Amino acid sequence: MKNINKYDKLKKEFIKGWNTWNVRSMLSHVLMPYGIAVNIGLKEYREGGYLDEALTSRLSDREYVQRVDNSVEDLLPGAHSYDGRYTFITVKWKGIEIDVESACIDHEIYLRINTKANQKKQAAVVAEACLLWGKDGSINKSGNCIDIVCDQKKVSLKMLGTLADDKNIPSKSAYIAAVLFDYVYFYTGEDKNREEIDRIIQSNRQEYFDKLDKYGDLAKYYQTIQEVLAWNMIYEPQKDRVLTVTGRTWAVEWGGGVQHCWDMYFNGMMYSMEQKELAYMSIVEITREKTEEGFIPNCVAVNGFKTLDRSQPPVGSIALKEIYKKYNEDWIVELIFDDLLGWNTWYYENRQVKEGILGWGSKPYESRIDNYWESVGAGEFFGAALESGLDNSPMYDHIPMNKETNTLFLGDVGLTSLFIADAKALKELASVINRNDVIDILDSRIGKCSKGLSELWSAEHGIYLNYRTDKRCFDKQLSPTNFYSLLTDAIPRENAKEMIYKHLLNEDEFWGEWVLPSIAKDNPAFADQDYWRGRIWPPMNLLVYLGLKESEFDDIASQLADKSGNLIMKEWLVNKHIHENYCPISGEGCNKKNSEKFYCWGALLSYIVLLDRLD
């Protein structure tokens, strides 16, 4: 209970002040804990359109995506302080282009809109005053000032600019509209002139960039991490918590908030470089979503959806270990240790497909909300593939399902290796908090599965291979998951060296200018270049990098780090995109519609660079 109270206090202290807390728009600034919002919108006159919510749109051809093609707005997210003290974003929409900057000080906010392009008839920029999430309070407009009151907190919203004469702005609340010309300012608090607001914004802007100076030439890499995490950090009112979603559009599609299992743990690892509170919240909130069976679900959303058939790769203890190494606070380990141990136990008891060898699985379950994803693939090979996190990977094409065990007939090198690494991380964490009662249990699991992993070594092919338990033979398909064995510290060095030089560095399989493809280049499915069928995925790069470091192949790890850095910078320097996945042929992210262009784990590519060069 003491640790729960400590966590709740940490969370409460963080959820305050102005920030982009509202998941539905990156132009919405909210003062917490009051829920007082200032939403920036645009009214254009060429077609009469109104942009009231703005997101980095997800262009998708997948029929189940609700926000299929909202490409009318194009956002280029820039600087974003974790505490909301400074933000910068560029908005392009129907021939209009604006830069929106915000600065916060002493619970007041100052917004500056810089007009860079406009239509023939000048657009209007709108500041809408709202109370979000059912908060009690009042909104009163008098002239060019709007007073918003909540819980005895009063905020007065004002404008510097030319008032727009348009009664047809479709706002659902009180607003102030200005002609979009030159600079327009919206602000709260005492009256200010333009020069005073400019000084506040410049001061907070300088503060933001000064904090990057310690990274020197590596600052651009840390910038990608902070920007994608901070812009995707939201407030989730149902459970009064902070979530850093994979991407805002995903969260909107799921009713306002969604967590994907291993994504959240990776977010925590990236946050740990600078932001302890958000690192803790990222790993605690997803861990709290464990099922009654004891596993962390693949996906859980605020609309009531939860994948009760499957989990995802067990990286939670690995993430917690890395975060603990940074902050050395025992209480956070104590808070979630038993949940992570229970997850490890669930994998051990439910996913062994052969003595000491684990495989992915899924089971049928009764729908709770009649959602498409509650039934598709559940208890089938596709559900098991989703548990792997590698949704449409050719590794799982046509692998039959063992209906008795609800697992694939496939012993998986990647899962077996991650399980061993997870158990070893748990053992280290157990020592930290004096949980000696579980050391022997973990040692037994590590020993048994290390032996199982050794049976997956193919001397003929010089690599650890997946094993078809129904056919009793190796599966020769290769992906970066075959190299996860490097994470375990349980394989002979000569084996590690052989598979690195024979396969990882083989340009006909994995190596090249843009790496690592999610399936070997000589696999026929590589040509598909669709999602996990050949595209580069940042978490794979990270796990292989960590394996190379664990196995002391530091030079090759550094080469992988350099290539990862080149990959993320190719688009970020041009259009601020941080993609979900990339093309191993061209290094592009934008050449596929189903690669979300502002996705948190894309920044793992930069995280690898910083791990390597700051080591």
Domain CATH code at residue 450: 1.50.10.10
- Region 164-185 average pLDDT: 97
Whether residue 582 is found in the same domain as residue 534? yes
Contact present, 429 and 439 (Cβ < 8 Å):
no
Confidence category of residue 275, pLDDT binned at 50, 70, 90 = very high
Q: Bridge partners of 185?
A: 112, 160
Confidence category of residue 71, pLDDT binned at 50, 70, 90 = very low
Q: What is d(CA 540, CA 602) in angstroms, rounded to the nearest whole number?
A: 11
Q: Is residue 3 part of a domain?
A: no
211, 232, 249 — which closes off a domain?
211
Q: Phi, psi (5° rounding) for residue 267?
A: -55, -45
Host domain of residue 198: 20-211
Whether residue 219 is found in the same domain as residue 272? yes
Q: Is residue 448's pLDDT more than 80?
A: yes
The overall average pLDDT reported for the chain is 96
Listed in sequence order, the DSSP H helices in 376-511 are 381-388, 413-432, 439-454, 493-499
Q: What is d(CA 101, CA 91) in angstroms, rounded to the nearest whole number?
A: 11
Q: Is residue 606 part of a domain?
A: yes
* Closest of 256, 268, 244 to residue 301, by C-alpha: 256
Confidence category of residue 72, pLDDT binned at 50, 70, 90 = confident
Whether residue 455 is found in the same domain as residue 594? yes
**Cα–Cα distance list, 599 to 65, 235, 303, 413, 568 (Å):** 16, 18, 21, 27, 12
**SS3 at position 351:** coil
Work out the angle between the directed axes of helices 261-271 and 604-613 (0-180°, nearest 10): 40
Whether residue 167 is found in the same domain as residue 307? no
Contact present, 141 and 94 (Cβ < 8 Å):
no
Whether residue 546 is found in the same domain as residue 563? yes
Confidence category of residue 168, pLDDT binned at 50, 70, 90 = very high
* Closest of 416, 482, 407, 500 to residue 453, by C-alpha: 416
Q: Cα dihedral sign for 304, 306, 308, 314? A: negative
Q: Is residue 6 part of a domain?
A: no
Q: Is residue 158 part of a domain?
A: yes
Q: Which structure tokens are listed for 217?
A: 């030439």
**How many distinct structural domains can be found in the chain?**
2
Whether residue 382 is found in the same domain as residue 513? yes
Q: Is residue 10 part of a domain?
A: no
Q: Is residue 2 part of a domain?
A: no
Whether residue 202 is found in the same domain as residue 222? no
pLDDT (0 to 100) of residue 67: 41
Q: How would you classify residue 152: left for phi > 0, otherwise alpha for psi between -120 and 50, otherwise beta?
A: left
Q: Which structure tokens are listed for 97?
A: 């282009």
Whether residue 386 is found in the same domain as residue 424? yes
Q: How would you classify residue 91: left for phi > 0, otherwise alpha for psi between -120 and 50, otherwise beta?
A: beta
DSSP 500: I
Confidence category of residue 2, pLDDT binned at 50, 70, 90 = confident
Domain with 102 in it: what CATH number?
A: 2.70.98.110
Whether residue 462 is found in the same domain as residue 356? yes
Q: Is residue 70's pLDDT more than 60?
A: no
pLDDT (0 to 100) of residue 463: 99
* Closest of 176, 184, 190, 112 to residue 146, by C-alpha: 176
Q: What is d(CA 439, CA 416) in angstroms, rounded to the nearest whole number?
A: 19
Q: Is residue 395 part of a domain?
A: yes
pLDDT (0 to 100) of residue 60: 44
Q: Mind listing the pLDDT tens digit for each residue in 9-62?
A: 999 999 999 999 999 999 999 999 999 999 999 999 999 999 999 998 644 444
Residues in CB range of 57: below 8 A, 6 or more apart: 67, 69, 70, 71, 72, 73, 74, 75, 249
Whether residue 134 is found in the same domain as residue 231? no
211, 241, 268 — which closes off a domain?
211
Q: Mind listing the pLDDT tens digit for each residue in 511-546?
A: 999 999 999 999 999 999 999 999 999 999 999 999
pLDDT (0 to 100) of residue 579: 96
Whether residue 538 is found in the same domain as residue 416? yes
177, 211, 245 — which closes off a domain?
211
Q: Mind listing the pLDDT tens digit for each residue in 452-472?
A: 999 999 999 999 999 999 999
Q: Is residue 5 part of a domain?
A: no
Q: What is d(CA 220, CA 230) in angstroms, rounded to the nearest whole number?
A: 15
Q: Mind listing the pLDDT tens digit for each residue in 192-227?
A: 999 999 999 999 999 999 999 999 999 999 999 999
Q: Which structure tokens are listed for 38?
A: 């200032």
Q: What is d(CA 560, CA 570) in angstroms, rounded to the nearest whole number?
A: 16
Q: What is d(CA 311, CA 313) in angstroms, rounded to the nearest whole number?
A: 7
Q: Is residue 450's pLDDT more than 50?
A: yes
Q: Is residue 362's pLDDT more than 70?
A: yes
pLDDT (0 to 100) of residue 461: 98
Q: What is d(CA 419, CA 427) in angstroms, rounded to the nearest whole number?
A: 12
Residue burial 521-549, b: 16+ Cβ < 10 Å; e: rest: bebebbeebebbbbbbbbbbbbbbbbbbb
Q: Mind listing the pLDDT tens digit for each residue in 148-160?
A: 999 989 999 999 9
Whether residue 153 is found in the same domain as residue 256? no
Q: Which structure tokens are listed for 205?
A: 């802007």
pLDDT (0 to 100) of residue 62: 42
How much of the chain, in percent, has pLDDT values that exceed 70?
Answer: 97
